[in-house]
Amino acid sequence: MITVDQALEKVLEHIDILEAEESPILGCLGQVLAEDIFSNINIPPLDNSAMDGYAVRSADTRGASRQSPRILRVIDTVVAGAISRFEVEPGTAIRIMTGAAIPKGADGVVRFEDTDESERQGIPAEIGVLEEIEAGRDIRPAGEDIAAGSLVLSKGMTIRAAEVGVLASLGRSKVMVIRRPLVAILATGDEIVDVAQPLPEGKIYNSNSYSVAALVQHYGGIPKILGIASDSEHSLMGRLRLGLDADMVITSGGVSLGDYDVVREVLAKEGEIVFWRVREKPGKPLVFGVIKGRSKAGGVSSIPFLGLAGNPVSAMVNFELFARPAILKMMGKKNLAKPTVQAVIEDAIENSDGRRVFTRVIVEKRGGQYFARLTGPQGSGILTSMARANGLVVVPEDKPGVKPGDVVEVMMLDWSEEVE
Ligand code: AMP
Ligand code: MG
pLDDT digits (tens, 9 = 90+) for 341-370: 999 999 999 999 999 999 999 999 999 999
> What radius of gyration do the chain's Cα atoms show?
31
pLDDT digits (tens, 9 = 90+) for 381-408: 999 999 999 999 999 999 999 999 999 9
pLDDT digits (tens, 9 = 90+) for 276-331: 999 999 999 999 999 999 887 888 899 999 999 999 999 999 999 999 999 999 99
Nearest atom within ligand 1 for CA of residue 258: 4
Nearest atom within ligand 1 for CA of residue 228: 19
Ligand nearest to the backbone CA of 208: 1
Mean pLDDT (whole number) for 234-244: 96
Ligand 2 centroid – CA 242 distance (Å): 20
Ligand nearest to the backbone CA of 286: 1
Q: Give the pTM.
A: 0.93
| pLDDT attached to residue 214 | 98
pLDDT digits (tens, 9 = 90+) for 210-220: 999 999 999 99
Q: How many Å apart are CA 247 and CA 340, to the nearest integer?
A: 28
pLDDT digits (tens, 9 = 90+) for 141-200: 999 999 999 999 999 999 999 999 999 999 999 999 999 999 999 999 999 999 999 999
Ligand nearest to the backbone CA of 308: 1
Q: How many Å apart are CA 366 and CA 381, to the nearest integer?
A: 31
Q: Is 418's pLDDT higher than 50?
A: no
Give the N- to C-terminal CA distance of the chain in Å, as an integer: 38
| pLDDT attached to residue 420 | 47
Protein residue with its CA nearest to atom 17 in ligand 1: 310
CB count within 10 Å of CB 348 equals 12
What value does the mean pLDDT of the chain take?
96
Residue type for position 140:
R
Helix (H, G, I), strand (E, B) or coil at 180: coil
What is the best residue among 252, 255, 266, 308 to mutate for testing ligand 1's pocket, by most ligand atoms within 8 Å of CB? 252
Q: What percent of the chain has pLDDT over 70?
A: 99
Q: In angstroms, how far is CA 14 from the centroid of its own chain?
A: 24
What is the best residue among 204, 260, 306 to mutate for testing ligand 1's pocket, by most ligand atoms within 8 Å of CB? 204
Q: How many Å apart are CA 337 and CA 87, to the nearest integer?
A: 59
Ligand 1 centroid – CA 171 distance (Å): 50
The closest alpha carbon to 77, from 114, 103, 107, belongs to: 103
Q: How many Å apart are CA 45 and CA 42, to the nearest integer?
A: 5
Protein residue with its CA nearest to atom 10 in ligand 1: 311
Ligand nearest to the backbone CA of 252: 1
Ligand nearest to the backbone CA of 192: 1
Q: Nearest 5°: phi and psi at 365?
A: -100, 125
Which pLDDT band holds residue 419 (cuts at 50, 70, 90)?
very low
pLDDT digits (tens, 9 = 90+) for 65-100: 999 999 999 999 999 999 999 999 999 999 999 999
Alpha helices in 202-275 (DSSP H): 208-218, 233-240, 263-270
Q: Please tell me the total number of residues recorded for the chain in this structure.
A: 420
Protein residue with its CA nearest to atom 11 in ligand 1: 310
The DSSP letter of residue 168 is H
Which pLDDT band holds residue 260 (cuts at 50, 70, 90)?
confident
pLDDT digits (tens, 9 = 90+) for 96-116: 999 999 999 999 999 999 999
Nearest atom within ligand 1 for CA of residue 254: 3
Which residues have C-beta atoms less than 6 Å from ligand 1?
187, 189, 191-192, 204, 206-209, 252-256, 258, 309-312, 381
| pLDDT attached to residue 28 | 97
Q: How many Å apart are CA 86 and CA 94, to the nearest integer?
A: 8
| pLDDT attached to residue 415 | 72
Ligand 2 centroid – CA 127 distance (Å): 84
Ligand 2 centroid – CA 286 distance (Å): 13
Ligand 1 centroid – CA 62 distance (Å): 82
Nearest atom within ligand 1 for CA of residue 255: 2
What is the best residue among 208, 210, 306 to mutate for testing ligand 1's pocket, by most ligand atoms within 8 Å of CB? 208
